Structure 1
Amino acid sequence: MTEIPDSNAPCCDDFRATSRRGFLRGSVAVGGAALVGVAHGTAFTETAYAATGTADRVLVVLSMRGAADGLSLVVPHADPAYYAARPSIAVPADQLLARDAMFGLHPSLAPLLPLWQAGRMAAVHATGLPVPNRSHFSAMEEVEDADPGSPERIGWLNRLVGRNGTGSPLEAIQYGGGVPAMAVTGPQPTLSSSDVDSVWLAGPTEPDGAAARRAALRTAWAGSSGPLANGMAATIDVVDEFAAVRAVPAAPGHGAAYPADDLGKALASAARTIRADVGAEVITVDHGSWDHHTWIGTTASGNLTSMAQVFARSVAAFFTDLGPLADRVTLVTISEFGRRVVENANGGLDHGHGNVMFLIGAGVRGGRYYGTWPGLTRTSDADLLVTTDYRQVLGEVVTTRLGASSAQVFPGFSPQDPALGVMSSL
């Protein structure tokens, strides 16, 4: 019997190392024994914070870790080099969804087709870093820092919420892993947890056990000062404030059905947080691995098909779950780089450059493909070239939806003129 490669097992040593390195790059994790969801950030350990109130608009960033193959997700069917370069893995043109004269969506994205047809989903092709970087770890750092050449280790999402932040960790929340991503790292405190129900004070579960645990911790640290004492006080405060999210029923609304996997769980937590309206302006979610060096497969089976199915079903469930609240939420996807144009000897794809970004939800001028198509070549080292800096896409989202300036969030970047126009104005 042929053994099917594990779609969740990354092939690259540097991708395997990202979790460990990410942990090492993090600053102090506050209240680790008391708080399952790690509250992160220098300011969190040193200062108190004010309650955030509500967030009228929410940005959800979905990171497709491992370098997704944008040429399979949004297929350039009219470019003859695509089919010549991928004799065994190319997606047949007659199976594509939302096909126009150049592009079409992978059939596994069918759950998202209603959003596309309703003008609430768009794709921008040939996006990415301006200079190729084929190291997962280094490229992730570069994409999420988004401030080339700066010695400061501040992620773009941390800058975004820090522009007018209240100091509450609940303004920016990461789900899907306990280690904060580079994008949220920096002086603005943020909250990172695997899911909603992991943000609690460990201790007795009998009636009033949590209250007793909280009282004991406050007594133990009473009269103490310094970063650890302030961190413990802030930990207890953020758990108390987050209780409003835990109080929201876990059952999805409006008949939504999430896949029983990590992405479904993380997006269900994101929807629950938005329903609680605790002031979360940014929610970031990880999904991986998309590092498909082997057996990328066909539309019938394979690593990419299975990943794309989970992605599409999870995102579709998320917007169904939100119901009318979806009018406040914009979701954007990002991956550290794309894959090569030419398939390799293992039926997979090696590290490339350009990729695709999806935008879904409020403010999106959807139902179409954006970007400048550079054309493909099928030499052994051919990449999809980048014609749109990924910061251009993100910049149009944060300026139109959250009222930030591009200079605040992406220092040193000069937006293109004219803009892509993928987002409607405020």
Structure 2
Amino acid sequence: MTTPTTSVSDAATPAHAACGCPEGGGPLAPSRRIVLAGASALGAAGATLALASPAEALTRLTFADAGYTGDTVVVLSFRGGIDGLSVVAPVGDPAYYAARPSIAVPQSRGLQLDTRFALHPALAPLLPLYTAKKLAVVHAVGQPNPTRSHFTDLDEMERAAPGSSLRTGWLDRMVGATTTPGPFAGTAIGSSSAPRSLLGPQPDLALRSVDSFALSGAWDATETARWTTALRALHAGAPDVVGVPARTTLDALGTAATLKAAGYTPATGATYPSGGLGDALRDTARLVKAGVGLRAVTIDSGNWDMHSDLGSSTGGWMFRQLTEAGQALAAFMTDLGTAADRVTLVTLSEFGRRVAENGSGGVDHGYGNVSLVLGGGVRGGTVYGSWPGLAADQLQAGDLRATTDYRVVLAEILEKRCGLTASTVLPGVPTGRLGMFAARA
């Protein structure tokens, strides 16, 4: 039986409960109940690494990278089904304007990428990245068996193994395919729980922020050190199903404490927008540059289910959402600087939206969508994929047809940027590739 995923979040305690490990009956159970009864999260003090010398702390932080030379893969999930036809509008397809008389991006307002496609004007901060070939677009991307159901399609997207009996998440399988993954190898940032993509036997972390990630029940640095020592002793002889999550938690808490004590200022004048997405990408850049051993990071951005009042290219719901996303992604790349050469970020969403706008000024659930890919190894400045067209006879039940399986994009990231065999992570993935990544040296 597969060992359940360990998910650790703010006000952290060893996550044996999240593992489904039964309490009671064993000699350690009473002490663990005391730990879980601890009060609010520690706000400022750190755990074990805060007590180490700077040299020792640096050694222990960078040790987590040993054995893996591939990219950190950052998956930004636009939850709710983002409208790809607004994000990258097919302004050169006349059927687009016929289907969307009030919400289409006017050709005069779009940020032209080529003769057919234009970025939504709210994504202006991303245009320099596209011009610099650090941003690529994949249009008409989607799943092989779409259902238009949030729950079903999200579950299938994060499992990424259609037609198989695998129940693990694809990012958990990716982490498991790398060597000596450390406490931060698979991390959900900006969330209190790990998503489906990290479900599986590899320990993972879920933290709202680096600075708020602390040991529950400890009131100062002395208390933190005492609890840390006691918890390590308590779990020293425990079975792996209990001991590994506990040690993972404590190691991660120590690293977070060291980083918090050091503080963080984004590099090169990068300015993140206020809000959850900017905060999560800021912490991701912070962890990447600290060398804590990130292999896979997942970030959720919600509120994209725009059945009504989507708005126009000059304002409204979509404009506000994309403004935040564009500013956050641009700040992330600026902040990373040369560290972007070892990072690949890909955006995913469970499905796209209908081609035709509805009577409420929005768009309902659809199929084909768009994916944005950023990073130092991206062969950007290009819109990849086969465009099927938006004329009535080119649609799939009224939707944009998905001509590129999203797993093809993920497979090329795994192969070219992570040094992994894609089929071991994505069983049954098609063999074709888009050629959108340079091989990592």
- TM superposition score category, shorter chain reference: 0.7 to 0.9
Residue 267 of structure 2 aligns to a residue whose secondary structure is coil
Structure 1 range deviating more: 356-365 or 32-41: 32-41
Structure 1 residues 409 and 310 mapped into 2: Cα distance closer, same or farther (>3 Å)? same
Give the alignment partner of residue 415 of structure 2, picking from 387, 392, 399. Answer: 399
Instruction: Report whether the alignment pairs 1:384 with 2:400.
Output: yes
Instruction: List aligned pairs for 1:227-246, cutoff 5 A.
Output: 227-228=241-242, 231-246=245-260
Structure 1 range deviating more: 89-98 or 237-246: 237-246
2:304 is matched with 290
Structure 1 residues 332 and 108 mapped into 2: Cα distance closer, same or farther (>3 Å)? same
For residues 103-149 of structure 1, the C-alpha deviation after alignment (integer angstroms, 9 at most, x for no partner) is 11110110111111111111010000012221111101101111113
Counterpart CA distance in 1 for 2:73 and 2:8 is 28
1:108 is matched with 122
2:73 is matched with 59
Structure 1 range deviating more: 189-198 or 312-321: 189-198
Residue 93 of structure 1 aligns to a residue whose secondary structure is coil
CA contact (8 A) 1:63 1:286 kept: yes
Write the letter of the residue equivalent to 2:349.
Answer: S
Instruction: List aligned pairs for 1:12-411, cutoff 5 A.
Output: 27=4, 35=12, 52-54=64-66, 56=69, 57-218=71-232, 227-228=241-242, 231-377=245-391, 382-411=398-427
CA contact (8 A) 2:16 2:245 kept: no
CA contact (8 A) 2:172 2:197 kept: yes
CA contact (8 A) 1:267 1:315 kept: yes
Structure 1 range deviating more: 229-238 or 396-405: 229-238
CA contact (8 A) 1:31 1:232 kept: no
CA contact (8 A) 2:14 2:246 kept: no
Structure 1 residues 361 and 224 mapped into 2: Cα distance closer, same or farther (>3 Å)? closer
Write the letter of the residue equivalent to 2:421.
Answer: S
The unaligned stretches of length 5 or more in structure 2 are 23-60
Structure 1 range deviating more: 220-229 or 61-70: 220-229
Counterpart CA distance in 1 for 2:295 and 2:312 is 38
Counterpart CA distance in 1 for 2:202 and 2:240 is 18
Write the letter of the residue equivalent to 1:413.
Answer: V
Residue 165 of structure 1 aligns to a residue whose secondary structure is coil
Identity of aligned residues (%): 43
Shift of 1:190: 1.4
Residue 268 of structure 1 aligns to a residue whose secondary structure is helix
CA contact (8 A) 1:43 1:187 kept: no
Counterpart CA distance in 1 for 2:176 and 2:18 is 12
2:54 is matched with none
Counterpart CA distance in 1 for 2:216 and 2:320 is 36
For residues 157-215 of structure 1, the C-alpha deviation after alignment (integer angstroms, 9 at most, x for no partner) is 11111113324331111112112111111111111111112322123343423212323
Counterpart CA distance in 1 for 2:427 and 2:120 is 35
Residue 393 of structure 1 aligns to a residue whose secondary structure is helix
Write the letter of the residue equivalent to 2:380.
Answer: G
CA contact (8 A) 1:39 1:190 kept: no
The two structures, once aligned, show a CA RMSD in angstroms of 2.8
Structure 1 residues 267 and 372 mapped into 2: Cα distance closer, same or farther (>3 Å)? same
Structure 1 residues 244 and 206 mapped into 2: Cα distance closer, same or farther (>3 Å)? closer
Residue 293 of structure 1 aligns to a residue whose secondary structure is coil
CA contact (8 A) 2:357 2:363 kept: yes
Shift of 1:248: 4.5
Write the letter of the residue equivalent to 1:35.
Answer: A
**TM (normalized to structure 2)?**
0.83
1:413 is matched with 429
CA contact (8 A) 1:85 1:343 kept: yes
Write the letter of the residue equivalent to 1:193.
Answer: L
Structure 1 residues 354 and 324 mapped into 2: Cα distance closer, same or farther (>3 Å)? same
For residues 354-392 of structure 1, the C-alpha deviation after alignment (integer angstroms, 9 at most, x for no partner) is 000111111111112111010113589510001111011
CA contact (8 A) 1:245 1:278 kept: no
Counterpart CA distance in 2 for 1:33 and 1:78 is 47
For residues 217-263 of structure 1, the C-alpha deviation after alignment (integer angstroms, 9 at most, x for no partner) is 34555666574455434422332244444345232222111111000
For residues 288-322 of structure 1, the C-alpha deviation after alignment (integer angstroms, 9 at most, x for no partner) is 12110010000121111111011000011111111
Structure 1 range deviating more: 396-405 or 224-233: 224-233
Write the letter of the residue equivalent to 1:389.
Answer: D
Structure 1 residues 229 and 332 mapped into 2: Cα distance closer, same or farther (>3 Å)? closer
Structure 1 residues 302 and 382 mapped into 2: Cα distance closer, same or farther (>3 Å)? same
Number of aligned residues: 395
CA contact (8 A) 2:266 2:335 kept: yes
CA contact (8 A) 1:332 1:359 kept: yes
CA contact (8 A) 2:64 2:291 kept: no
Write the letter of the residue equivalent to 1:315.
Answer: L
2:58 is matched with none
Counterpart CA distance in 1 for 2:122 and 2:246 is 46
The unaligned stretches of length 5 or more in structure 1 are 1-25
Structure 1 residues 138 and 374 mapped into 2: Cα distance closer, same or farther (>3 Å)? same
Counterpart CA distance in 1 for 2:335 and 2:280 is 13
